[in-house]
Structure 1
Amino acid sequence: MKKYFCIKTILLLAICGIVSCSTEQKVPENNEDVSESSAISNLDKFDAYTQKFTDATLITQNHATGHVGDFFFTHWKDGGSASLQLDTDGSFGVSWEGGGYNYVGGPGWHYGDEDRVIGYRFDEESGASYITLYGWGYDETMPESDPAHLVEYYVLQRWTYDPSQNGEYGTTFMSNGIEYSTYRSVRENKPSINGPSTFYQYWSKPAQQQPLEEDHEIIFTDHVQAWAESGWIIPDMNNLNASDDPTYQVMAVEVFNPGQDGTASGQVWDAKAQ
């Protein structure tokens, strides 16, 4: 049985203002250097945001990436109030307040791996826009005028907003006993891991929402193959050449313009490595 976060712990930490059990959170300002001890191999380019924590940590600022134990995390919002609580075993919780803003965050890895099998579990979530495997691919050798040079991808598991209503349908396929359909949409001059850009979003949407309080596995290679079979280009998912963030892959909670306060908590792990 895996260890999962209790949302009461998250709220208690938030109320008490605790940032980390034993490691003070350092929020770099004005692109100052992160200390040598907290630098992460191969990610020095992003040291304005990338930090290393060895204990449970609460993230509250607008934009942060880093590692808690061996898990990478992203935490991004364009306003409002949302926090991300993480532990070194991949347990995490997100808490948000209602308002007119967008938030996405969660733990995973600082690069995408087409062969990765992602294990996860959500014990509770109160109406997030998306519960999703989430990440980016980037190919700087392609012209920026081609939206395929930069891709934001989603393997949805639960949702309150249906992205397929504005998307181009690709194909329907089976993965791990679940029927998914692929969709593609375009974002024009929007925030990305490479600054404001025009890029594609690729979606895999299951026929049914996945239940809470159960262990699940996402076989990522099936989704990559389905996107390719839809005729869509798959850019490099392990590329550190973007300007703002690496091409991470995380189990994310996303909310946009939330109508009320909410929470979500769960755990992520590398199912292939077990």
Structure 2
Amino acid sequence: MNYRLTTSLLTSALILGIAGCAKPPAADAPSPQAAATHAAALPAKPPISKFKAYTQRFDGQTLLTQGHATGHVGDVFFTHWKDGGEASFKLDEQGNFMIDWIGGDYNYVGGPGWESGDRNRVIGYRLDEDSGASYATLYGWGYDKTMDPADPAHLVEYYIVQRWAREPGQGGEQGVTFTSNGVEYTTYRTVRTQKPSINNTATFYQYWSRPKEQMPLGVDHKIIFADHVKAWEASGWKLPDLDNFDASDDPTYQVFAIEVFLVENSGTAAGRVWDAGK
């Protein structure tokens, strides 16, 4: 992800707007006024004080079109971020989502999930539509503030890619091949040097797991995250803390994300995400 979280974007996140897009929300979606009133009336979930953008909570189907927004729809956490262009994110309390984008020279990443990572989480998802996203992926961050910031291992951005239009882990170091839930994956590691991240501008690693074949649409899938952590560690790549608010700009969230960047064509990705370990 080309992560450019700036002060202005955080400010816009605090002034959350719910707007229309090419595909209108369902008839029972809340009005902007009702959603704003509801968000103000409900307590934050979770009660995070450091990252004001994360104190938003909405009820019912919610449509996001602004530059940056994070929070909860019911109990479902979400992140929605773009550095330009036109992309929108619709989400309900059951984890059903739809992301629409218009092609152009920009980066978008968004999706439903959890406000912190969990090494033992089992993620369930189903994609019913994907018309060319750069990546459909489990996505998140790990961060250890006690480690030397000059060591790229102190901050890790990870991808367990399920579908792609761009080559995952391109130009990176190859690790191991392993099987998880009947799917064969290969690990890769790349490095980002002095790039924007959840902790300001930093040098950090990206860990990748790429399946041998792209996962089909219209089918329920499971991602057993612990298997990928073990495979990365078998490659000698340690994953730092997944559950903290220590970074400067964002906590270490974990979401099923749709990422699009430098896309020529417009498209849609739609499906559902849930905790398959319960």
Taking structure 2 as the reference length, what is the TM-score of the superposition?
0.87
Aligned residue in 1 for 2:8: none
Deviation at 1:21, TM superposition (A): 7.6
Structure 2 equivalent of residue 13 of structure 1: 24
Equivalent of residue 113 in structure 2, options 108, 114, 137: 108
2:236 aligned with 1:215, yes or no? Answer: no
Which of the residues 247, 250, 262 maps onto 1:245?
250
Q: C-alpha distance in 1, partners of 2:198/2:116?
A: 12
- Does 1:192 find its partner at 2:206? no
What is the letter of the counterpart of residue 173 of structure 1? F
2:3 counterpart residue number: none
CA distance in 2, matches of 1:63, 1:253: 15
**Does the 8 Å CA contact 2:159/2:207 hold for their aligned counterparts?**
yes
- Kindly provide the CA deviation profile for residues 149-191 of structure 1, in whole angstroms up to 9, marking residues without a partner as x: 1100000100011123311001100000000000000111222
Per the alignment, in what secondary structure is the counterpart of residue 207 of structure 2? strand
Query: Aligned with 2:265: secondary structure?
Result: coil
Which residue, 31, 35, 40 being the options, matches 1:24? 35
Q: Pairwise mapping of residues 118-133 of structure 1 onto structure 2 (< 5 A)?
A: 118-133=123-138
Which range moves more in the overlay, 161-170 or 247-256?
A: 161-170
Counterpart residue identity of residue 239, structure 2: I
In 2: Cα distance, 1:111 partner to 1:99 partner: 31
- Contact 1:39–1:47 (8 Å) recurs in 2: no
CA–CA separation in structure 2 for the residues paired with 1:146 and 1:238: 20
In 2, Cα distance between equivalents of 1:209 and 1:12: 27
Please report how far the alpha carbon of residue 258 of structure 1 lies from its aligned counterpart in structure 2 after TM superposition.
0.8
Say whether 1:88 aligns with 2:99.
Answer: no
**Would you say the 8 A contact 1:20–1:56 is kept in 2?**
no
Q: Choose which of 52, 69, 84 in structure 1 pairs with 2:74.
A: 69
- The answer on whether the counterparts of 1:21 and 1:57 sit within 8 Å (CA) in structure 2 is no
- The residue identity in structure 1 corresponding to 2:147 is M
RMSD: 2.2
- 1:148–1:206 distance in 2 versus 1, CA, 3 Å: same
**CA distance in 1 between partners of 2:124 and 2:175 (Å):** 26
Number of aligned residue pairs: give it: 257
Q: Which runs of 5+ in 1 are unaligned?
A: 1-8, 27-33
| 1:58 counterpart letter in structure 2 | L
* Corresponding position: 1:98 with 2:98: no
Q: 4+ runs of 1 displaced by more than 6 Å? A: none
TM-superposition CA deviations, 1:108-150 (whole Å, max 9, x none): 0001111110000000110000000000001000111111111
Amino acid of the residue matched to residue 89 of structure 1? Answer: Q
Q: 1:78 to 1:179 in 2, by over 3 A?
A: same
Matches within 5 A, 1:172-187: 172-187=177-192
Measured in 1, the distance between the counterparts of 2:159 and 2:139 equals 5
1-side partners of 2:26 and 2:221: how far apart? Answer: 32
SS in 1 for 2:184: strand
Distance 1:141 1:23 in 2: 43
Cα distance between partner residues in 2 of 1:70 and 1:115: 19
Counterpart for residue 270 of structure 2: 265
Measure, in 1, the Cα distance between the counterparts of 2:90 and 2:36: 12
How far the C-alpha of 1:47 sits from its partner, in A, is 1.3
- Distance in 2, matches of 1:56 and 1:20, equals 10
CA–CA distance in structure 2, aligned partners of residues 128 and 224 of structure 1: 25
Q: Is the 8 A contact 2:138 2:161 kept in 1?
A: yes
